[in-house]
Structure formats: structure tokens, C-alpha cells
Amino acid sequence: MSNHATQQITARRKFLTLMAQSVGFSALGGMVWSGYIAEAKAAPLILRPPGAVAEVDFLRLCIKCGQCVEACPYDTLNLAKPGDNKPLGTPFFNPREVPCYMCTDIPCVPVCPTGALDEHAVSRVVEGKKELDITKARMGLAVVDVESCIAFWGIQCDACYRACPIMDSAISLEYRRNERTGKHAYLVPIVNSTMCTGCGLCERACVTEKAAIHVLPLEVAKGAIGGHYIKGWDASDEKRLETQSSDVTTRTKRSEKSAQDYLNADEEVFK
């Protein structure tokens, strides 16, 4: 046994101890820090400027410079401040306060230096030339709470319908017979999720105390059909069949015995 009291503390031992100490502190700090980041990232209820890439990539790409905020002529966009409970320094808007007015020249997107706001996502090709098209923006999706929408009570409102910059396309009015009075019509707003840009002008215009129509982020508001369902009556949807791979077969332990094998397994019994 070596005598600990007389053992030399060498420079190497000192160095290794210092490194171990620092790694220990770093591990603790890193755990707290990454915990904070994970919390800060998990804020799905946030509306991004037009042309924003998917949220995961957006958080990677956004350098928090605020150029989009400065470019916005309506002061729609804000940079998330401490206390907003949103990823710090990233741009967002609150449509009930200031919606996106869907400028046709989209000043907020081309100024983005990192591509977090992607110009391609909000442009289309017209006669071989790329042209900005704000109606291609998908900032979110307007959702109607029919219980608190007065149009569904039978009161004529259409505030959201008229506020919509792409009226009759993103929001249309559906006429229904009001059975209660027997002589009036419901004029209810219906949102088309393939056209709605999520600008929030409808939410801003809504007359109820808290907006009955509100914009939700796409990943929250939208469902996904999956590959199994195809509209047989729609020629363009039928085309998906061509790219679809063969039938999906689920394999489990039971799959080894085919149904037939199973039924005939006891064949000898009946002989």
C-alpha cells in the first residue's frame, strides 16, 4: 500500500483533477442549460412570418436579427422578449392585436439573411419569371369555434368573411336554412384549409369578446390523411396511386401462421 500522505501531487495529477472538475461543472451546467433550451423550444403555439420554414428548421436558421420586424410596415411582427414564453428573439405575430396585412411585395421575406424566411415558399413562376405571391404563404390556419360564432346562432355577421383578403376563397359563406325561425337563413363562415394563409385578418375582425375565429399554427390545426385514402372520383388524387408503393402488410408474430394453416392445423382430428 502506498502512503497517501507522502505521495507527490504531480503536475499531471493536478491537470487531470482540474479537467475532471471542469467537466463535472460543465455536465451540471449543460444539463440545466439543455433543459432550459428544450423547454424554450417546445412552444408550438406561435405564428411565424410568411414564408417561414418548418418550426424545427426555423429555430435553427433564425439569427434573431429582427430585419423582418423592421421591414414590416404595419408593425405586425415582434421579436419574442423574455416573458413572452416563446423562443427568445424569434419573430412572431399576434393576429388579434396586429394581423398580417399580406403585402403583395412581402417586404419581410427577402430581407431575411439566413433563409429562415424562404422566398421560394411565397413565390410562383409566371411566364418563366419568379414572382412573389403572398397567397402562397401558410402562416397558420383559421379555425372557427362554432359555439361562440354568432353566425351559427343565426345572427348575420360575416365580419371575418369580409375581412378576408382572399374572400370567397379562404373563407366562404355557406347558406343554411334556419329551422328555428323557419324563414331565415344561416350565413356561416367556412374556412378552406387549402387556401387560408393564416394572416389573421379574420381573427382581428371578429366581433365576439374573444375571437370565435382564430389562427392556429398549421401543425396544431391540421390533420393528415395518410396514404391509404385516395379520392377515387378525383383524377389528380388518383395519380397518387402511381407513386404509392404496393399494399402495406403488417407483420407480427402471428403472421407466420397463415389463416389457412391455422384452420387446417388440426386436420388429423377430423380424419
How far apart (Å, rounded) are the C-alpha atoms in residues 155 and 153? 6
On the CB side of 140, CA atoms within 13 Å amount to: 26
Q: How far is the CB of 30 from another protein (least distance, A)?
A: 5
User: Which residue of 44, 45, 115, 184 would you call a contact of another protein, by CB under 8 A?
Assistant: 115
76 binds another protein (CB under 8 A): no
32 binds another protein (CB under 8 A): no
192 binds another protein (CB under 8 A): no
Rounded alpha-carbon distances, angstroms, from residue 184 to 77, 146, 234: 42, 18, 35
Among 55-63, 152-160, 173-181, 191-199, the segment contacting another protein (CB under 8 A): 55-63
Residue 139 has which C-alpha cell? Answer: 402562416
Q: CA nearest 159: which of 169, 148, 171, 147? A: 171
**C-beta neighbour count of 100 within 10 angstroms:** 28
CB-nearer residue toward another protein: 40 or 143 = 40
Among 58-66, 186-194, 238-246, 253-261, the segment contacting another protein (CB under 8 A): 58-66
Q: CA nearest 228: which of 242, 215, 241? A: 241
Among 57-65, 143-151, 165-173, 182-190, the segment contacting another protein (CB under 8 A): 57-65
User: Which residue of 16, 20, 54, 88 would you call a contact of another protein, by CB under 8 A?
Assistant: 88
149 binds another protein (CB under 8 A): no
DSSP string, 137-151: --S-EEEE-TTT-GG
Among 109-117, 201-209, 217-225, 230-238, the segment contacting another protein (CB under 8 A): 109-117
122 burial class (0-12, 13-18, 19+ CB within 10 angstroms)?
A: buried
Instruction: By CB under 8 A, name the binding residues for another protein.
Output: 22, 25-26, 29-30, 33-34, 36-38, 40-41, 56-57, 59-61, 63-67, 69-70, 78-79, 81-84, 87-89, 113-115
